[in-house]
Each structure stands twice: as C-alpha cells, then as structure tokens.
Amino acid sequence: MAKNNQEFVTQIASRSEDFPQWYTDVIKKTDMVDYSDVKGFMVIKPYGYGVWELMQSEMDARFKATGHKNAYFPLLIPESLLIKEAEHVEGFAPEVAWVTHGGSEELPERLCIRPTSETIICSMYSKWIQSYRDLPLLINQWANVVRWEKSTRPFLRTSEFLWQEGHTAHATFEDAQEETIRMLEVYREFSENVLAIPVVVGRKSEKEKFAGAYATYTMEAMMQDGKALQMGTSHNLSDHFARAYDITYLSKEGKLEYCYTTSWGTSTRMIGGIIMVHGDDRGLVLPPKAAPVQAVVLPIAMHKEGVREKAGELFDMLKKAGIRAELDDGDQSAGWKFNQWEMKGVPLRIEVGPKDIEKNQAVLVRRDNLEKLFVPMDGIAGTVEELLKDIHVGLYKKALAMRESKTVEASDFEEFSQGVKNGFVKAMWCGERECETSIKEKTGATTRCIPFEQRHITDKCVHCGKEAKHMVFFARAY
Amino acid sequence: MAKNNQEFVTQIASRSEDFPQWYTDVIKKTDMVDYSDVKGFMVIKPYGYGVWELMQSEMDARFKATGHKNAYFPLLIPESLLIKEAEHVEGFAPEVAWVTHGGSEELPERLCIRPTSETIICSMYSKWIQSYRDLPLLINQWANVVRWEKSTRPFLRTSEFLWQEGHTAHATFEDAQEETIRMLEVYREFSENVLAIPVVVGRKSEKEKFAGAYATYTMEAMMQDGKALQMGTSHNLSDHFARAYDITYLSKEGKLEYCYTTSWGTSTRMIGGIIMVHGDDRGLVLPPKAAPVQAVVLPIAMHKEGVREKAGELFDMLKKAGIRAELDDGDQSAGWKFNQWEMKGVPLRIEVGPKDIEKNQAVLVRRDNLEKLFVPMDGIAGTVEELLKDIHVGLYKKALAMRESKTVEASDFEEFSQGVKNGFVKAMWCGERECETSIKEKTGATTRCIPFEQRHITDKCVHCGKEAKHMVFFARAY
C-alpha cells in the first residue's frame, strides 16, 4: 500500500519544484477540466463543474437575499452598441470574437460575442427605467463570456469562461456606491465562508480599474507560489454608462436625471484559486462547502462478511443527514482508492473494515491534515458534520497563515523588490500611473489593491520617492 | 374597480380574435421577455427567467436522479469538427453563426457558435472513453445555443435560446435505446407533473428526425389555437456519431467496439408552451410548480388599523411553509393590483381586509377558475398548499380536455384537411417521405409523431391510399 501511495504521489509535480506543472497535473488528474479542440477553450468536466454548481448555488442565494433577480441577455452585441462608451470599447475591442456570417449570409453589421454585458444591458435599462419608482433595478446574469486570449490556463485565463455579472441602476451616486461595496462584501463573505479563502479588499488603481468604471473594488487572494489572484470585482460605473446609453429617470420632483449604475462579477477563475490556495503535493484539497463529495465511504476487505452492508448503511446515514457522500465499492485496491480520493481533495475519507465493525466504529481520515480518527458508529453523521465545519476553519486558518507568511511591509525599493518575489508587499505609493508602470517593468508586480484598512508606513512613495498617497498591496499576479 | 378591470383586460388581444397578438401581448405585459437591439435575440426578463429557473431546478433534479452529471463544453466549434458527421452538418450548417475574427486578427479556421453540441462533445468522448468500464457516460449541459432564424417569436423561435442537452455514450445499441426512452419519459413526467401540460409521446418520421440521428423521439403538446408544439426530443444516435468521431471502447472480451450515443434536449421554448396551453383572456396562467410567485397577499383598505400587520403575518406564515409568496403593499388601487397579478398568472390571490380580520379569515381567489374561497386564518398555509396542488390538477385536466376537443381521427383526406385546421389529426400513413411532403404542401400539417400507443383506423394511407404503416399524429405546428 505504501508503495502504491508513493507511485501515485509521484504522478504529479511537487509544488515547490514546479508550481505551474503541479497545477496542470492536479486539474488533469482530478478530472476537473480537459483541453478542447478549440485553442484556448476549456471543457469543464463533471467534477470541476460540480464545484462550480455549489459555488453558484451559494452565491445565487446571497444575491437573492440582497434583492437581486436573475435575467438573461443576448450573447451577441452589435458593434455600434459596443462602441458607445469610449473607454469601455478601448478596453475590450482587442479581445472580442466577431461574428460576421449567419448561415451563408454576411451580416449587415458584425456582432461581437459578449466579453461582458454592460453595453447590451444598459441599452435595455434605457427602455425599462422611466421613473424613480423603477429604481433601484437589481439584476444578475449567469452566463458564458468570450475574451480572446493568446496564452491560456484552465480556470485562470481562458478564451471562454463562465461567470455571473450583476448590473444595477440607482437614483444617486451614493446609492450606486453603497451597492458596489455591498456586493464586494457579499463576495468577501462568500470567499471566506464558502471557499475558505481569506482576501484583501480595497480599491483598484486608475490603471487597473475596469474599462469605463468610475472606481473598481476588488478582493485579492494569495496563492502558494507567492502570486496574487483577483477573485472578484465590483464596479461603481457612476453615470458613465448611463450617459453613453441614455439611462434616465424622472425624479420625485419631476426632473429628468441620469441613473448611476454598477456591475460586479466573479467567475470559474475562483476554482483556480481554490486549487492554488488549498492544494498540496497529494493533489486537490477542497473546502467542504464547495466539495461535490464531502465524505467518501470505503469498505475495507470487502470480501469479509458484513463489510459491504455496513459501509452501505453508513453511506445511507450520511446521505440522510444531507452530507454529500459517495460509496466507493469498486474492485480497485484500498491503496489505490486512498490515493484517488486524496487526489480529488475529498475532505473526509471514512473506512469501514471487519475490525471496525467489531468495535462498532469507523476510521475517519481528514484530507486537510491527514489526521486519523476512530469514531463510534452511533451518531456518526453528526460527527462528520462537525468535522466538516472544523476542516473549513482549519483550511481558512492555514490559508491565512500562508498569506501572512507571504506578506511583508517594504519601506524601500530594495525590500520591495525582494518582497514581491515571494508574495504581497505592503508599501506606500504616490498614486501616479507612470510610477506604477515603471514598478511593473522592474519587478513584474502590479498594484493589487488600495486596501480599505490603511496603515501609514512611510511618507514617501516606495519607488519614486514622491509624496505617498496610499498604502497599497503590490504583487505579481495571475 | 369593474371599470379598471375592463380597461386592463382590453389591453391584450383576445385569444379567439387574434391568438398571435394575444401571445405577444401576454409576454410583454407580464414582463417575461423583451426584444433586444439584436434582431431575433430575446432578453429574458426576471419574471420569465424565474419560470425557467424553476423548470431547470425540477429537471436538473430528475437528470441527477437518473445518474447524469452536468459539465460544460466550449461555445465555439471549428468548422472541420462540425462537418465530420455528414447528415448533421447538412442539417445545421445553414443556420449557424460564424466567428471569423478574434480581436483584430482573422482566425486560421472559422468557428461556429454551437447550434447543438454533439460534435464538440463527441470529440471529447473519443478521448475520455477507453474501456467498457467508462460506460455508460452520462452527461448533461445547461447552455445557450445559436441557430440563425429569419422569422422569430420570443420563446418559440429565436436565434439564441437557453436549453439543456444530454449526451450519453453506451456499450450497445440496446443500452442507447433504453436511455433514449428513459429520458423521453423523464420529459413526459416533467411536462405533466410540473408544467401541467399533457403530451403525446412517440417517434418522429425520417423526415422530421434530428440531423444525424438513427431515431428521434418526441413529446408534442396541443396549443389553444390548434397548433402543436414540440416540447422536447430524445435521440438515439446509434453509432453514427461514434463512427464519425471515433468513439470506441475495449470490451470485456478485449475487442475494440464502437459506442452508441444518445442526445436529448428541452429549452426555453417550453415557456411558450405554458403560455399557449394555460393562458386566458386575462393573461398568463402559471402552473403552481413553475410559478415564481405562487400566492400574492393583498392587504385591502390598507389605511385601516391592523390590515398591513395582518397581511404581513400571513405573508410570513406562507414563506415559512415554503410557499413562494409575495406581499403587495404598494399604493396602487386594489383593482389595479387584481388585474396585474391576474395578468402575471399567479395561481392564488389572497386578500385580507378589515372584515376578514374580524372573521379571522382571508379571501382566496384561484387564478385558474377565478373561484373565490373564504378560508380560516388558522392553518391557512396548509390550505394554500392543498389548493396549489388542486390548481395543478385542474390545469392539467383542462389542458387535456382542450387537447381532446382538438383531436380527431380521420379516415379520408377531406376529414384530414378539416381536422388539421383545428388541432391534432390521428390518421394512417404510408411512411413515405414524398407523401409527407405533399401533405404539408396541401394542408400545412406535418407528422408530429408516430405515437407509442398505436390504433388501427384504416388499412390505407389517409393521403395517398397506399398501404398504411402507422397511425400518426398530424398537425400544423410551431
């Protein structure tokens, strides 16, 4: 068994030696995704899609609880509509796919596949919103989007991805700002309480903000290789899109006013975050709330009397308690199965063998720390539920400690340059775009966010020495 | 109030005078859908999307219960991949949208937006399936598809629509056939038990079958205007796609064999069916299981003491019981609200006024038959639940009676020609494609399905007089 184990583990690269290869190995070995015949497009296989379904269901409930409803808007956007908001089209035109023919006929106007839906949604809001009574308008869309990419990696950057995009319209700038921050907070709470991923929240720099936004807010997570991942963004679009797409309303006072809009999005990219935050050299480690299988029941020495039956009973008990359990009574060796389910990151493995049956117990093995627990059969579903909660907390704490260990404060550019090789650097910054560009050229690091929680480190910009405006999180990023 | 009522009702066409206009009025007035800036593409507004979400959730549970898992495949398909199955490409090529540019660059090969995903999915199955142990492979996808249409109607025929497509692979033809029929049966049960729409199930003719299929099975419903609607199809693809895309497996005996595949789909088109089967001259009538709002609570004489509070209490009770309730305490008149919620097809309206509070009762009005019921407050949630079930049964029976009244048997072509003006005609048919084409040219009617439940009417084909092969349901269709 030890031998099998070893063999299996060496099938994937180690994180410390080759992190990108480890990532690729994990997503392939766990059957989360596959590469397709279309360059840059991924196939999300059932195991990966199962994670996304759980994330969707958790997020969707949060969107509905905050008053949003789902709707669906067209996949294709006429070029004339896309180009109405100048900054927006400048940002997105280089990466859209163009449809030029329908059947055998050339189209009178080419249509792009949505890279995001502000333009088409705003054109509808312009029709739907007449009076202050129609506000706020709170809509979310679950959809696929296409952004043409030259260099792709499954989940992290692909030419097509799945996401949700919230689009809301409000009477005032303040209402829009409140919504922008509310949804960022929904994202943060989701990331921490469902994915067990701690995030830094704050504002993007002018350079890094969404094309067409007044301000972009973001949540940023730290991966085990010291690179940051943007996990979700929320944009206050002010009246930029309302002016471009003529979204106006008649106020209570009978005055025609422009609306203020927001948009906010998260995507299948977050699955890449789960892998890179929690995974280890045995493979994936899934947070229990996003795990398609939370506990796998393995009968040990299946040929022995009563083993299959007991394992089946246990499986039924878990299912009945609402735990996403699976029973693996396949004919592979126990060692092979251990490795398989560890690779797939299932939070709990539950073994039932003849000796366990004698003692009326089961053996539970936690995926997060490989701890082995002997648990009485009576009330075992409750124990499993508690352990799943415990694993969530453990994963969160471990991820937080990892991030802390990869976060430094820099008061000079030498410290800064060393720091960004390893993770987040908190440093003071002047706020100038040229300085930001120069930092990126020299170190590969970008401003990840201007955190809400500010701290004064020095008076001067860590790079150019001019007067500092903010404390910023810098990092190399995906 | 009577006046308001009248005003409102006349805002939509009557079904008997202008059914197409009535349909258009209903979908607009109920805020189910809107037309977009992209010709032929619809926007599904929150109320329409809410219906789709309920349908998705009901269907998804059924797919999972029959062992299927969800996955996601690329939106775009290379032309070289699409053309591998000859009949398939012949059927779909005239209606696909072509992507020719990514960003500013022309693509080396043009890509079509999936009109359906057999080709891309089969190309993946060819990689994934190696041995008999990998079979059956049971996958479903929830997705958008594009089929270029010249003449469109929201839900019924649009250039983009939302759907699910199941794609499965099996070891034998018999296994594939069993799956094809199993999923048709899942569809039938869903249509009848969730949508309250009775359907005729059977096989499509060779002319009407899916491009590339060995056999297509269908469920067909009758609309109030006497036209049939295909509500869902299930295809046995035999080894056609397996041969074109090289899907093989090593059998237990160590022999390389072709797989047998199936596909099956239903779409947002079914929402059109709900509207046209159940709606009336007051607007939409939603079956309770597909109604985003199952019961609306209306406080009457809201200024009177205790009315708002009582209505609020009632609303809370319903929500607590898991009923999708809404409280309408807006400042519009009661008459306006009655019309509004009737238009939206909400199954139950619950009125609470000062007199009702005195009597510790509420007034329930059923949308299906407008029956008014005085119901004690105590245990009202249970009463509502029972009534919702009752409404479902009532709608189903009414729809079945409507279909029966629009179904005739024809033993000669005169009867046939009269019959298809009004609905389904059951008649004997020779099975020849030329005869089928000729019938369509003369009457506008097509073969809708060769029902599983056969009945011998005459010996000869109702049209050409040759020897009859089957009893067939004919109708004009959407």
Calculate the CA B17 to chain-centre distance: 25
Tens of each residue's pLDDT in chain B, 478 residues: 334 444 444 589 999 999 999 999 999 999 999 999 889 999 999 999 999 999 999 999 999 999 999 999 999 999 999 999 888 888 898 899 999 999 889 999 999 999 999 999 999 999 999 999 999 999 999 999 999 998 999 999 999 999 999 999 999 999 999 999 999 999 999 999 999 999 999 999 999 999 999 999 999 999 999 999 999 999 999 999 999 999 999 999 999 999 999 999 999 999 999 999 999 999 999 999 999 999 999 999 999 999 999 999 999 999 999 999 999 999 899 999 999 999 999 999 999 999 999 999 999 999 999 999 999 999 999 999 999 999 999 999 999 999 999 999 999 999 999 999 999 999 999 999 999 999 999 999 999 999 999 999 999 999 999 999 999 999 999 9
Closest by Cβ to A103, choosing from B99, B111, B148: B148
Looking at the structure, do residues B215 and B318 belong to the same domain, yes or no? no
Q: Single out the residue in B278, B306, B329 at which a domain terminates.
A: B278
- Class of residue A331 by CB neighbours under 10 A (exposed 0-12, middle 13-18, buried 19+): exposed
Q: Strand, coil or helix: what is A126? A: helix
Residue A200, H or E segment: strand A200-203
Among B51, B72, B111, B331, the residue to mutate for chain A (most A Cβ within 10 A):
B72
Looking at the structure, do residues B362 and B441 belong to the same domain, yes or no? no
Residue A452 included in any domain: yes
Looking at the structure, do residues A308 and A202 belong to the same domain, yes or no? no
Minimum Cα–Cα distance from B45: chain A residue: A71
Residue B258 included in any domain: yes
Residue A132: CA atoms inside 13 Å, Cβ hemisphere, count? 11
B69 touches chain A (CB under 8 A): yes
Q: Strand, coil or helix: what is B203? A: strand
Residue A201, H or E segment: strand A200-203
**Beta-bridge partners for A366:** A348
B181 touches chain A (CB under 8 A): no
**Beta-bridge partners for A326:** A296
Alpha-carbon dihedral sign for residues B13, B18, B22, B28: negative
Residue A103 included in any domain: yes
Taking only the tens place, the pLDDT of each residue in A279-308 is 999 999 999 999 999 999 999 999 999 999
B326 touches chain A (CB under 8 A): no
Looking at the structure, do residues A336 and A450 belong to the same domain, yes or no? no
Partners of A30 on chain B (C-beta within 8 Å) are: none
Looking at the structure, do residues B446 and B469 belong to the same domain, yes or no? yes
User: Which one, of B220, B372, B363, B224, lies nearest residue B284 by Cα?
Assistant: B224
| A284 touches A30 (CB < 8 A) | yes
pLDDT > 90 fraction of chain A, expressed in percent and rounded: 93
Question: Kindly report the CA angle at B139 between B135 and B142, in degrees rounded to 5?
Answer: 175
Question: What one-character DSSP code corresponds to residue B288?
Answer: G
User: Which one, of A176, A164, A168, lies nearest residue A129 by Cα?
Assistant: A168
Nearest CA distance, A261 vs chain B (angstrom):
18
Task: Tell me the average pLDDT across A402-427.
Answer: 98
Closest by Cβ to B98, choosing from A37, A53, A101: A101
Partners of A42 on chain B (C-beta within 8 Å) are: 74
Looking at the structure, do residues A373 and A414 belong to the same domain, yes or no? no
CATH number of the domain residue B357 falls in: 3.40.50.800
A45 touches chain B (CB under 8 A): yes
Domain residues for B455? 407-475
A50 touches chain B (CB under 8 A): yes
User: Which one, of A478, A433, A451, lies nearest residue A463 by Cα?
Assistant: A433
Task: Tell me the average pLDDT across A256-270.
Answer: 98
**Beta-bridge partners for B446:** B475
CATH number of the domain residue A223 falls in: 3.30.930.10
Residue B396 included in any domain: no
Looking at the structure, do residues A79 and A128 belong to the same domain, yes or no? yes
Among B28, B36, B128, the residue to mutate for chain A (most A Cβ within 10 A):
B36
Distance CA B81, CA B93 (A): 12
Nearest CA distance, A72 vs chain B (angstrom):
5
Question: How far are the Cα atoms of A54, A308, A325, A366 from residue A317, in angstroms, in the given order?
Answer: 22, 14, 9, 19
Kindly determine whether residue A73 and residue B36, on different chains, have CB atoms separated by under 8 Å: yes
User: Which one, of B383, B462, B353, lies nearest residue B416 by Cα?
Assistant: B462
CB neighbourhood size of B169 (10 A): 29
CATH number of the domain residue A424 falls in: 3.30.110.30
At which residue do the structure tokens 């249970």 appear?
Answer: B382
Looking at the structure, do residues B272 and B297 belong to the same domain, yes or no? no
Among B30, B33, B38, the residue to mutate for chain A (most A Cβ within 10 A):
B38
Alpha-carbon dihedral sign for residues A37, A39, A41, A43: positive
Q: Strand, coil or helix: what is A103? A: coil
Minimum Cα–Cα distance from B91: chain A residue: A103
The tokens for A209 are 């903000």
Q: Strand, coil or helix: what is B211? A: coil
Distance CA A380, CA A44 (A): 34
Partners of A98 on chain B (C-beta within 8 Å) are: 99-102
Nearest CA distance, A200 vs chain B (angstrom):
31
Looking at the structure, do residues A420 and A323 belong to the same domain, yes or no? no
The tokens for B10 are 């006349």
Residue-averaged pLDDT of chain A: 95
Q: At what angle do helices B269-278 and B46-65 cross, to 10 degrees?
A: 110
B90 touches chain A (CB under 8 A): no
Residue A117 included in any domain: yes
Distance CA A313, CA A301 (A): 16
Partners of A70 on chain B (C-beta within 8 Å) are: 46, 49-50, 53
Count of domains observed in chain B = 3
Distance CA B424, CA B198 (A): 13
Residue A288 included in any domain: no
B103 touches chain A (CB under 8 A): yes
Nearest CA distance, A74 vs chain B (angstrom):
6
Q: Strand, coil or helix: what is A217? A: strand
| A264 touches A230 (CB < 8 A) | no
| Global confidence as pTM | 0.96
Distance CA B309, CA A217 (A): 40
Q: What is the pLDDT of residue B395?
A: 98
Looking at the structure, do residues A367 and A235 belong to the same domain, yes or no? no
CB neighbourhood size of B369 (10 A): 12
Q: Which residues contact B11 (CB under 8 A, 6 or more apart)?
A: B25, B29
Q: Checking phi first, is residue B187 left (phi over 0); if not, alpha (psi -120 to 50) or beta?
A: alpha
Q: What is the pLDDT of residue B104?
A: 87
| Residue B213 φ/ψ, nearest 5 degrees | -85, 155
Looking at the structure, do residues A99 and A183 belong to the same domain, yes or no? yes
| A248 touches A258 (CB < 8 A) | yes
Distance CA B143, CA B165 (A): 8
The tokens for A82 are 């896309």
Outline where B129-228 has alpha helix (H): 173-193
Q: Strand, coil or helix: what is A446? A: strand
Q: Strand, coil or helix: what is B206? A: coil
Kindly determine whether residue A74 and residue B36, on different chains, have CB atoms separated by under 8 Å: yes
Question: How far are the Cα atoms of B18, B23, B29 from residue B14, in angstroms, in the given order?
Answer: 6, 9, 14
Looking at the structure, do residues A469 and A431 belong to the same domain, yes or no? yes
Closest by Cβ to A70, choosing from B46, B146, B160: B46
A162 touches chain B (CB under 8 A): yes
Q: Single out the residue in A248, A278, A308 at which a domain terminates.
A: A278
Residue A283 included in any domain: no
Among B57, B60, B73, B138, the residue to mutate for chain A (most A Cβ within 10 A):
B73
Q: Single out the residue in A215, A249, A278 at which a domain terminates.
A: A278
CB neighbourhood size of B5 (10 A): 15
Q: What is the pLDDT of residue B180?
A: 98
Question: How far are the Cα atoms of A224, B69, B213 from residue A274, in angstroms, in the given order?
Answer: 11, 21, 41
Residue A2 included in any domain: no
Minimum Cα–Cα distance from A81: chain B residue: B37
Closest by Cβ to B49, choosing from A70, A74, A96: A70
Q: What is the pLDDT of residue A200?
A: 98
Closest by Cβ to B53, choosing from A70, A78, A162: A70
Q: Checking phi first, is residue A161 left (phi over 0); if not, alpha (psi -120 to 50) or beta?
A: beta
